[in-house]
Amino acid sequence: MKNLVFLFAAVMTLSIISCESVDKELVDKMQKDITEMSGLSATLTDLGRSIANLAAQMAAAPEEMKSGGNAGFTSMMEMSGAMVQKHEATQAEYNDLMNKLKTLAADYSAGKVSTEDARKEYETLKTGLQGISDLVQRIQERSGQMETNFAKMMADWNAKSEGAGTR
């Protein structure tokens, strides 16, 4: 992945040198954001695994716990399903915005896009990527809370089950 980023940077640098009608500062900003936001890919992948793991743990909970009218568990299962869907949509949007930003940077460097149009599109893409970054942080926090709540719920369930078995 790093090789791809460095290759992309080299191509952009050569394009800048060969075409002096581009705003070097704008290209540098785009490249900086591409590099920074590329790190979000691994975070999204890890978050997806974490959410899927939690959903699997919840699905493996004892049937009595699932069907016992436990409103907290039912609510948590619904939230888990919503988080899986939100993660998938966020991942798709991230991929789309990153591809558009890379294409914009390459097209602008090659002189295919005017500076004004490139600047407008860049600001739109940057805002979208920042929104995704903020959303990922909120999903991570919510996922962590859910993991903690589920662990407590399982501990309470196990304690009740053990207590009922010793009587």
Instruction: Determine the Cα angle at 41 with ends 35 and 43, to 5°.
Output: 115
The predicted-structure confidence for 9-18, as pLDDT tens digits, reads as follows 555 555 544 4
> Sorting pLDDT into bands at 50, 70 and 90, what band is 108?
very high
pLDDT at 21: 78
Per-residue pLDDT tens for 111-125? Answer: 999 999 999 999 999
pLDDT at 63 over 80: yes
Confirm whether pTM is higher than 0.85. no
